[in-house]
Amino acid sequence: MENPIQILWKLMLKVNFFYFNRNNSFYCFIVPITFISEPIQYAELNSVVLIKCRVIANPSADISWFKGQEKMNILSSNYEERNGGLQINRVSSIDNDTFWCQADVAETGESKDYQIQVIIARMFLKSD
C-alpha cells in the first residue's frame, strides 16, 4: 500500500494546480508544505555530500537552512544551497550535527521546518 506522500506526489504530477472555469474565474489549489526527506542522513569525512530535503508546496516555498539545536544561520562557504538540498563541500567532524530545512510560503504565511540529523560515517572495506 502506498503511503500518503506517494499518493500526494502522484496527484501533483497529474493535476494542474491552476485552472480557469467557464466563467474565466481563477482557482488555485493550495498544497500545504510537505517534506520528503530522510530524518537521518550519513556523510563520509572529507567528502562532498548533499543533504537532501525536498519540499512540496503550492504556492511554492522558499527554502532556508540552519544548523544546530539553536538553529544558527549557515554562513560558511563550505555550504551551498542546491536544488533539492544543502551541499557540504568538505565534510568535517563539526558537520556531525542537526540541520534544519525551513520552508516558507509568503502568500499563505505558512512556515515549517524539518530536522535532519547528519551522522559522520567511515567507509570500511572488507578484507579477506
In the chain (128 residues long), the average pLDDT of successive 10-residue segments reads 61 50 66 94 96 94 92 89 92 95 94 96 68
What is the pLDDT at residue 16? Answer: 46
Domain that holds residue 116: 31-121
What is the pLDDT at residue 56? Answer: 93
User: Each residue of 78-95: b (16+ CB within 10 Å) or e?
Assistant: ebeeeeebbebeebeeeb
The CATH number assigned to the domain holding 107 equals 2.60.40.10
For residue 35, is it within any domain?
yes
What is the pLDDT at residue 14? Answer: 47
Beta bridge partners of 114: 101
Report how many domains make up the chain. Answer: 1
For residue 60, is it within any domain?
yes
For residue 106, is it within any domain?
yes
